[in-house]
Structure 1
């Protein structure tokens, strides 16, 4: 799929999300920002996801390459449900009861400030979010995934060493 078509699909997704949110802008501004930073619509083919495109086309890169960002492949209503019936308390945040398909874009090399190259990692896990007083997710706790990835890497090194 061409970059223009991808851009059009993502733009269409945001228009659908905005029209689907019936609450006032005061209640949904934080959620819309959360979606812009961490959301990929479930109907976008994952083979068409390009981290370099996602990271450069977002508000996340402002003059410097961001080291990493995680995207949730889902629907807005399923993300919102984590703040309510589909989530449980996790410290002062909410942890999803269900797993989500996730994509993490990680900076591979920082050639120049305007040339960022990202590698893509797909995985499935629970998400941990901060919710606002209206019941919308407004923060994704990415350190939750980093800890899980570190444990996974350590476990794979342990198994590797076991067979040496």
Structure 2
């Protein structure tokens, strides 16, 4: 069966456009939770199946206490360039969950701590796809 060249280009274009959406969905799952609290790290990380690629407990995971829209806006007017990332113009409340034991999922245990920080994210096609970190203070 032959696929015309134009159809093949269309399929490849669709695959490229779909990729940021999949990465955006993963970003949301791993980093956005407006109802998160310091005491919920273990449960939320387990429920959302957050772990490393090689099925180990993730050392640190940060949740942004926000809805999707304000975080996505950092990729536009609510953020500015920061190397190859975008940094937020406003600080966000975050929960940083740090691993406190050395086991395999689902027995990971975390200690959560809340902060208010500017955040740095990587954007692709206007969507956040990677949480790079939180920053206490940006120099002008």
- 1:137 equivalenced with 2:128 (yes/no): yes
The counterpart of 2:86, out of the listed 74, 84, 94, is: 94
Distance apart, 1:58 and its partner CA: 2.3
The two structures have a TM-score, normalised by structure 1, of 0.64
1:53 aligns to what?
Answer: 43
1:116, 1:45 → 2: CA distance? 17
Partner of 2:10: none
TM-score by length of 2: 0.74
Do the aligned residues in 1 keep the contact of 2:36 with 2:63 (CA within 8 Å)?
A: no
Q: CA deviation at 1:59?
A: 3.0
Deviations 1:137-160 (A, max 9, x none): 111003x55xx5xxxxxxxxxxxx
**1:32 has 2:30 as partner:** no
Structure with bigger helix share is: 1
| Number of matched pairs | 116
- Structure scoring higher RCO (CA < 8 A, sep ≥ 6) equals 2
> Partners of 1:30 and 1:45 in 2: how far apart?
21
Alignment RMSD, CA only?
2.0
Runs of 4+ in 1 over 4 A off after TM superposition: none
Q: Which runs of 5+ in 1 are unaligned?
A: 1-24, 149-164
Unaligned runs of 5+ in 2: 1-16
